[in-house]
Structure 1
Amino acid sequence: MRKKSTYKIIVLLFLSAIFAFAITACNSKMQWFKQGEINSTVVRTTPLSLVQKPTATKIVNHALGQAEIPLHPQRIVVLDDSFILDPLLALSIKPVGFAAGANFINSDNLSEFVSGIPKVGDWERPSLEKILSLKPDLILGHIWQKRFYSLLSAIAPTVLIDTDSEVDFKKNLKYLADILDKSDRVDRILAEYNQRIQTFRQQLGTTLNTKTVSIVHLYGSTVHVYGSDLTVYGQIMKDAGIRLIPAYRDLKGYSGLSIEALSDWDADILFVVVLLKTDSEHLRSLSFLKQPLWSALKAVQNKQVYAVTWANTVAGPITANQFIDDLYKYFVEPS
């Protein structure tokens, strides 16, 4: 009888301990919920020690207003393969993805720098699925890609740059360096560019004053002229002291060019800039090439007409330096 009573007491004590533990655990859990509900309608279910610390951010201005971006972004996707990609690479920033111009003439000017970086579609049709899979913390693009802005912003902070009204590679470099906290590298990059410019001017000397230069732009089956405010190659030629014809030197923006106006764009050296893959075919078949006005041009008669692909391939500090090196062959007289 005594043993039975002792057994009952032990069982009761054991059950009491379990009950007390349950109450304590319940109270503790309720207290945790209450802490999580302070100033929020979301219940915290993960211990604070396991929650990822918030990333430091800053507000930057861009073509569509303002965006809050990481202070030091680590996974940048660029909807571009030239005007934004080039200065990023010059700043020693390697994006995790970039877009390419599907219909543009291919260039390998930056190939050594982008090896292994996946493409996320082309400029006009970026793949949101591919961008999302790369888990970017910042997306950079052009103002003319604004139709994708809301979708891109849902993936990561998105900054769009105005390359419609002005294309200034130095200004673009400084802007990107500023928002990405790399301003300390700008002086060195531009100093290297300026040194190349000075060397070019010194080596060619008076030759630069003896040859006039004109540039026209072939787009599809039409001819346009673009001012240096819209072309990086035009800006570099001005810096290099190349003698541009007044019509090109003073041009702002762009306009179409008729066959009758070609004589106004004649020069000792005429560059025909092509952009699209189909342009090289049009260059051979355009009717104006067979007309007397074309044959009468001084550059044509002296066989100083050159088809080049500068529109998309000369875009930032890296390709600007390559472009300067390439210019020598057009001005140095064959020995």
Structure 2
Amino acid sequence: MRKKAPHKITLFLLFLTAISVFTIPACSSKSLWLQSDRMNSTTGQAEQSSPAQKPAATKVVSHALGQAEIPLHPQRIVVLDGSFLLDPLLAIGIKPVGAATCPYCIKSDTLNQFVADIPLVGHWEQPSLEKILSLKPDLIVGHIWQKQYYTLLSAIAPTVMIDTDSEVDFKKNLKYLAAILDRSDRAEEILAEYNQRIQKFRQQLGEKLKTKTVSVLHLYGSDPTVHVYGSDFAPYGQVMIDAGIPLIPAYKKLKGYLEVSLEALPEWDADILFIDVLRETDSEKLKSLSFLKQPIWSTLKAVQNDRVYAVSWSSTVVGPITANQLIDDLYRYFANMSDLGLNHAPTLPGRQTP
């Protein structure tokens, strides 16, 4: 994005300020670090500070677009999405004062219990600068794909951008945010607990899973197309790899994502097939079963054995909180099943009853 002249930024901020003056069950994922009484509201912290206090101490941190000087202990954090960045912040005990939203994405019930009272600052593809300014943030956190807003956001508050274009690594995001916010010890505790739960899952179900294969297909778009995501591009993929879920061999070579033609569907067949949807509208299309009426669909092994299940992992498994929830889901899908036979009817995203 072309840089704006400093005087233009100043005029723009004055304009926004004027507006703001007038518009102001093997395991349970309910771990200690998820308890609401350990969640710090940065709003409350900031309200306790006095305008007469000395300027906060700062430090310089590196991020995807360079460096930024941020407060040592920021009190009013705004995140430019309500999932991939919000989840790790909540996990380390920080509740932002504002968050952008993905209005078309299926929402995570797990996160909803924590975020109901967090003010929204617009669409994550077009955040509202006016709303962000009115919240008086002392730190803004966004994605590198939102870099077109970086100059203006940086004029409001120190802004750091995380690279989620090349990979979506929930552990890396957690560690980075914890490091710049002086919560690294908490992040290590969270990952240690996650690893313990993963090892327990492997011990209990590893032998059963060795003889089976699993695949995940994505339906996406107004005329649903089929995609597959590599484990580097979806947090749920990281969890499944960690848990020893035997994904079909084709995933080993896959980086990023790939659109799959109908003719190539058999290459992604498996003993157990999950159909993942991102958007609410895609969920509605799945209800109509229009895509599933394609003749080639009935030739798939998972379809013939009635082992196809609808999920919404790509939009609801986004960080350590929801990763732990996925472990619970995997238990419900794979534990206590005769020969891993999934003897319940397929369910739709948002209504899983494994």
After TM superposition, is the score higher than 0.5? yes
Q: CA deviation at 1:289?
A: 2.1
Partners of 1:286 and 1:165 in 2: how far apart?
33
Give the superposition deviation at 1:291. Answer: 2.6
The aligned counterpart of 1:176 is 177
Q: Does 1:115 align with 2:102?
A: no
2: CA distance, partners of 1:173 / 1:334: 34
Q: Is contact 1:259-1:288 (8 Å) kept?
A: no
- What amino acid is aligned across from residue 200 of structure 2 in structure 1? T
Structure-to-structure mapping, 1:30-49, within 5 angstroms:
none
Q: What does 1:169-318 align with in structure 2 at a 5 Å threshold? A: 169-220=170-221, 221-284=224-287, 288-318=291-321
- Check conservation: 2:80, 2:142, Cα contact below 8 A: yes
| 1:35 equivalent in structure 2 | none
Alpha-carbon separation, structure 2, partners of 1:289 and 1:112 = 34
**Alpha carbons 1:75, 1:136 under 8 Å: kept:** yes
Alpha carbons of structure 1 residues 158 and 205: separation in structure 2 relative to 1, 3 Å: same
Deviation at 1:334, TM superposition (A): 4.2
Q: CA deviation at 1:106?
A: 2.2
Aligned residue for 1:66? 67
Measured in 1, the distance between the counterparts of 2:257 and 2:82 equals: 23
Between the aligned partners of 1:205 and 1:247, the Cα distance in structure 2 is: 21
Residues 261, 288 of structure 1: CA spacing in aligned structure 2 closer, same or farther, 3 A cutoff?
A: farther
Mapped to 2, the partners of 1:291 and 1:113 lie a distance apart of 41
State, as a whole percentage, how many aligned pairs show the same letter. 74
Q: What's the CA shift for 1:157?
A: 0.6
Q: For each residue in 1:34-74, what CA deviation from the matched residue of structure 2 results, as whole angstroms up to 9, or x when unmatched?
A: xxxxxxxxxxxxxxxx9652221111111111111111101
1:46-125 matched pairs, under 5 angstroms: 52-125=53-126
Count matched residues: 286
Letter in 2 for 1:271: F
The CA distance in 1 between the partners of 2:238 and 2:53, in whole Å, is 46
Which gives a bigger RCO, structure 1 or 2 (Cα 8 Å, sep 6+)? Answer: 2
Letter in 2 for 1:282: K
- Within 1, Cα distance between the matches of 2:201 and 2:249? 22
Alpha-carbon deviation of 1:272? 1.2
CA contact 1:79–1:126 (8 Å) conserved in 2: yes
Aligned-partner residue type, residue 262 of structure 2: I
Return the offset for 1:250. 2.8
1:149 maps to what in 2?
Answer: 150
Cα offsets for 1:132-174 (capped at 9, x unmatched)? 1111000001111111111211111111111010111111111
Could you state the TM-score of these two structures normalised by the residue count of structure 2? 0.77
* Structure 2 unmatched ranges of 5 or more: 1-50, 339-354
Range that drifts further, 66-75 or 289-298: 289-298
Query: How far 1:333 sits from its partner (Å)?
Result: 4.2
